Copies of this chain bind each other. A is one copy, B any other.
């Protein structure tokens, strides 16, 4: 249960911690333009989804679904975007992003689009609390 797991420093630096699901660490991107979660399987050395054994792969996608549902409940949106890219940060991670028509990147992808904007005081923390409640994660 406590295998070593080091979060990529760029992911750590760009995000707030929501908490841990059975497989993944859930992070909120510190970017007020989009309600944007990143899920990182807590295993060492993963790059591709295929690097996970089949049961963990199924669990990853279930947790992506759970994260999407919690995100949609906390941040009303017109479309969810899910992506696993890893072209820059190699550590396997999956993005789940609540998109609104007319948002800063609409209808393009959020990845590589413009510059992150800081959340106003307390806003990200309230979103994190709502997400924890939706995901049944203890603070």
Give A contacts to B, CB under 8 Å.
47-50, 57-58, 61-62, 65, 68-69, 72, 79-88, 99, 106-109, 111-112
Partner of A87, one of B85, B86, B108: B108
With A61-B58, A68-B49: A79-B87 Cβ-Cβ less than 8 Å? yes
Q: Are B50 and A68 in contact (CB under 8 A)?
A: yes
Contact A111 B108 (CB under 8 A): yes
A57 and B50: CB pair below 8 A?
Answer: no
Q: Are A109 and B109 in contact (CB under 8 A)?
A: yes
- Distance to closest chain B CB from A17 (angstroms): 24
Query: Quick check: B83 and A106 within 8 Å, CB to CB?
Result: no
Which residue of B is nearest A87, CB measured?
A: B107
- Nearest CB of chain B from residue A33's CB, rounded to whole Å: 15
Instruction: Tell me if B86 and A83 are in contact (CB < 8 A).
Output: no
Contact B82 A109 (CB under 8 A): no
CB-contact partner of A86 in B47, B62, B79, B88, under 8 A: B79
